[in-house]
Amino acid sequence: MGKLVELKHPLVSHHLATLRDQSTPPHQFREQVRRLSLLLAYEATAGLPLKPVSVRTPLTETECEELGCRIGLVPILRAGLGMSDAVQDLIPQAEVWHLGFYRDESTCQPIEYYQKFSAHPPETAFILDPMLATGGSACEGIDRVKKWGVDKISLLCIIAAPEGIEKVSAAHTDVDIFVCAIDDHLNENAYIVPGLGDAGDRIFNTL
């Protein structure tokens, strides 16, 4: 059974406040997405397997541990791109594979427009998307990553609506979900309230 983790930390609360603020300009918005992505990834990677490795320090040979599986980051375009550099900084050997979805404005259904996966799927994948609203994009993204052949999948979102969490949890019971905040509800346009507006537009300055 997948778990749902909502980060509870003063730094998360602090950086979320700036992220949500409508007066935060795009360059600062991107910095906040980056900071929150680092905090999310720290938590989401806590269960990664390790393998032993011998290391020679300046004084002696010693037994250490290093990550023991191939890791893929799957940012969902566009807004997920705002998260992937930060997570890759924490896991430099991670591979980055891309999925592109946009929400049709009238139906709010995700439309796929890009997929770049290799013939050899990683063992673990972290799907990155700042916003989990209706859950349509996340469900489709998880579906693609499962069909690719990945065994262990985690979804990392900065802000989630209860509706989106419910949809993903029901459709993909084996997927772990990590979020910085669970907000109140979706409005009539399927935007998260209180939310932060359109994450992609705020990251890429296309409002």
Distance of CA 150 to the CA centre of its chain: 16
Stretch that binds ligand PRP, among 2-10, 18-26, 124-132, 176-184 (CB under 6 A): 124-132
Q: Which does 191 bind (CB under 5 to 8 A by kind): ligand PRP, ligand URA, none?
A: ligand URA
In 45-135, which ranges are continuous DSSP H helix? 81-90
For residues 128 and 88, the answer to whether their CB atoms sit within 8 Å is no
- Mark whether 124 is an active-site residue: no
- Mark whether 184 is an active-site residue: no
Binding-site ranges for ligand URA (CB under 6 A) = 131, 133, 191-192, 195, 198-200
- One-letter amino acid at 41 equals A
Q: From the candidates 35, 103, 144, 202, which is the catalytic residue?
A: 103
For residues 187 and 11, the answer to whether their CB atoms sit within 8 Å is no
d(CA 190, CA 161): 10
Q: Which of residues 42-101 bind ligand PRP (CB under 6 A)?
A: 76, 78-79, 101
Asked whether position 196 contacts ligand PRP by CB under 6 A, the answer is no
- Mark whether 107 is an active-site residue: yes
For residues 132 and 157, the answer to whether their CB atoms sit within 8 Å is yes
- Residue listed under structure tokens 């669970």: 182
Q: Which residues are catalytic?
A: 103, 107, 198, 201
Interaction site with ligand PRP (CB under 6 A) = 76, 78-79, 101-103, 108, 110, 129-138, 164, 190, 198-200
